[in-house]
Structure 1
Amino acid sequence: MYIGVDYYPEQWPKTRWAEDVRLMKELGINVVRIAEFGWQLMEPEEGVYDFSLYDEAIELLTSNGIKVVLGTPTATPPAWMIHSYPEILPVDENGVTISFGARRHYTVNSGKYHQFTKKIVTKMAEKYGQHPDIIGWQVDNEYGHEKSDRSYGALDRAAFQCWLKEKYQTLDELNQQWGTVFWSQTYTDWSQIPTPRKVYQEHNPSLLLDFDRFCADAYTAYNKLQVDILRSIVRKDQFITHNFVFTDQAINQWDMSKDLDFVSFDNYPVWGGLAEPIKPAAIAQQHDLCRSAKGGKNFWVMEELSGAQGWSRIGYLPRPGHIKLWTYQAISRGAEAIVYFRWRAAQFGTEEFCHGILDHDGLPKRKYEEVKEVIQELKTFGDEWINASYEAEVAAYYDIENAWAWGIQPQSDAFAYKQEFLRFYRPVHSANVLTDLVTAADDLARYKAVIVPIYFLTNSEFTEKLKQFVSNGGTAILSYRAGVKEENNFVTGQTLPGALSEFTGIQIHEYESLQTSQQNMVVGIKGTIKGQESTATIWCDLIEPTTAEVLAEYKGCFYEGTAAITKNSFGKGTVYYIGTALEDAMLDGLYDDILAEAQVDTFKTNGEVEVVKRGQFYSFLNHSTTETTPVKLPDGTWKTAATNELVKGELMLKPLQAVVLINE
Structure 2
Amino acid sequence: MYIGVDYYPEQWPRERWQEDIPLMKELGINVVRIAEFGWSLMEPEEGKFDFTLYDDAIAFMEEHGIKVVLGTPTATPPAWMAHKYPDILPADVNGVTISFGARRHYTVNSRTYQYFTKRIVEQMALRYGQHPNVIGWQTDNEYGHEKSDRSYAEEDRRAFQLWLKEKYVTLDALNETWGTVFWSQTYTAWEQIPVPRKVYQEHNPSLLLDFDRFCADAYNRYNRLQTEILRKYSREDMFITHNFVYTDLALNQKEMAKDLDFVSFDNYPVWGGLAEPITPAEIAHHHDLCRGAKPGKGFWVMEELIGAQGWSRIGYLPRPGQAKLWTYQAVSRGAEAIVYFRWRAAHFGTEEFCHGILDHDGVPRRKYREVKEIIDAMNAFGDEWIEAEYKAEVAVYYDVENAWAWNIQPHSDALTHKKEFLRFYSAAHSLNAATNIVSPGDSLEGYKVVIVPIYFLTNPEFNEELKKYAEAGGTVVFTYRTGVKEPSNVVVDTTLPGRFREMAGIEIHEYESLQSVQQNTVVGVSGAIEGVESAAKLWCDLITPTTAEVLAVYKDTFYDGTAAITRNRTGKGTVYYIGSAVEAGMLEKLYAEIFAEAGASTLPSPEGVEIVRRTGKDGKVFLAVMNHNADSGAVVQLPAGRWSCAVSGTTYERELQLDKLGSIVLVTS
Q: Quick check: TM above 0.5?
A: yes
**Residue identity in the other structure for 1:412:** S
Q: How many aligned positions are there? A: 664
Aligned-partner Cα distance in 1 for 2:641–2:384: 21
The Cα shift of 1:587 comes to 0.5
**Residue identity in the other structure for 1:327:** T
Query: Deviation digits for residues 87-107 of structure 1, max 9, x if unmatched?
Result: 000011101000000000000
The Cα shift of 1:474 comes to 0.4
The Cα shift of 1:218 comes to 0.3
Match of 1:495 in 2: 495
Match of 1:249 in 2: 249
**Residue identity in the other structure for 1:628:** G
Structure 2: state its 5+ residue gaps. 616-620
SS in 2 for 1:145: coil
Aligned-partner Cα distance in 1 for 2:346–2:476: 49
The answer on whether the counterparts of 2:555 and 2:561 sit within 8 Å (CA) in structure 1 is yes
Match of 1:629 in 2: 634
SS in 2 for 1:147: coil
**Residue identity in the other structure for 2:635:** P
- After TM superposition, the structure 1 = structure 2 runs for residues 102-117 of structure 1, keeping only pairs within 5 Å, are 102-117=102-117
Aligned-partner Cα distance in 1 for 2:365–2:474: 52
**Does residue 1:646 correspond to 2:651, yes or no?**
yes
The answer on whether the counterparts of 2:430 and 2:607 sit within 8 Å (CA) in structure 1 is no
- After TM superposition, the structure 1 = structure 2 runs for residues 367-378 of structure 1, keeping only pairs within 5 Å, are 367-378=367-378
**Residue identity in the other structure for 1:52:** T
**Residue identity in the other structure for 1:26:** E
Aligned-partner Cα distance in 2 for 1:194–1:423: 36
Displacement over 3 Å in runs of 4+: none
Query: Deviation digits for residues 232-285 of structure 1, max 9, x if unmatched?
Result: 000010100000001111000010000000000000000010010001001001
Match of 2:458 in 1: 458
SS in 1 for 2:373: helix
User: Which stretch shows the higher mean deviation, 625-634 or 334-343?
Assistant: 625-634
SS in 2 for 1:98: coil
Aligned-partner Cα distance in 2 for 1:443–1:295: 11
**Does residue 1:261 correspond to 2:253, yes or no?**
no
**Residue identity in the other structure for 2:169:** Q
Aligned-partner Cα distance in 2 for 1:172–1:355: 56
Aligned-partner Cα distance in 1 for 2:492–2:507: 13
- After TM superposition, the structure 1 = structure 2 runs for residues 31-46 of structure 1, keeping only pairs within 5 Å, are 31-46=31-46
Query: Deviation digits for residues 146-199 of structure 1, max 9, x if unmatched?
Result: 000011111111100100000000000000000000000000011100000000
Match of 1:134 in 2: 134
**Does residue 1:655 correspond to 2:660, yes or no?**
yes
The answer on whether the counterparts of 2:269 and 2:283 sit within 8 Å (CA) in structure 1 is yes
Match of 1:311 in 2: 311
The Cα shift of 1:641 comes to 1.1
Query: Deviation digits for residues 104-162 of structure 1, max 9, x if unmatched?
Result: 00000001101100110000001011111110000000000000001111111110010
SS in 2 for 1:247: coil
**Residue identity in the other structure for 1:453:** P
**Residue identity in the other structure for 2:583:** E
Aligned-partner Cα distance in 2 for 1:597–1:231: 49
Aligned-partner Cα distance in 1 for 2:555–2:315: 41
The Cα shift of 1:382 comes to 3.8
Aligned-partner Cα distance in 1 for 2:607–2:491: 43
Aligned-partner Cα distance in 2 for 1:661–1:490: 51
Match of 1:598 in 2: 598
- After TM superposition, the structure 1 = structure 2 runs for residues 80-95 of structure 1, keeping only pairs within 5 Å, are 80-95=80-95
- After TM superposition, the structure 1 = structure 2 runs for residues 206-605 of structure 1, keeping only pairs within 5 Å, are 206-605=206-605
Query: Deviation digits for residues 477-514 of structure 1, max 9, x if unmatched?
Result: 01000000001000000011111111111100100000
Aligned-partner Cα distance in 2 for 1:281–1:398: 15
Aligned-partner Cα distance in 1 for 2:567–2:111: 54
Aligned-partner Cα distance in 2 for 1:198–1:531: 49
Aligned-partner Cα distance in 1 for 2:97–2:534: 48
Aligned-partner Cα distance in 1 for 2:243–2:558: 50
Match of 1:197 in 2: 197
Percent identity of the aligned residues? 69
Aligned-partner Cα distance in 2 for 1:607–1:600: 20
SS in 2 for 1:635: strand
SS in 1 for 2:559: coil
Match of 1:154 in 2: 154
Aligned-partner Cα distance in 2 for 1:632–1:588: 18
The Cα shift of 1:317 comes to 0.6
The Cα shift of 1:639 comes to 1.2
**Residue identity in the other structure for 2:243:** N
**Residue identity in the other structure for 2:427:** P
Aligned-partner Cα distance in 1 for 2:509–2:446: 35
The Cα shift of 1:633 comes to 1.4
**Residue identity in the other structure for 2:343:** W
Aligned-partner Cα distance in 2 for 1:570–1:434: 25
The answer on whether the counterparts of 2:521 and 2:554 sit within 8 Å (CA) in structure 1 is yes
**Residue identity in the other structure for 1:652:** Q
The Cα shift of 1:3 comes to 0.2
Match of 2:171 in 1: 171
**Does residue 1:608 correspond to 2:608, yes or no?**
yes
The Cα shift of 1:647 comes to 1.7
Aligned-partner Cα distance in 1 for 2:136–2:645: 33
The Cα shift of 1:405 comes to 0.2
**Residue identity in the other structure for 2:187:** Y
Aligned-partner Cα distance in 1 for 2:264–2:119: 25
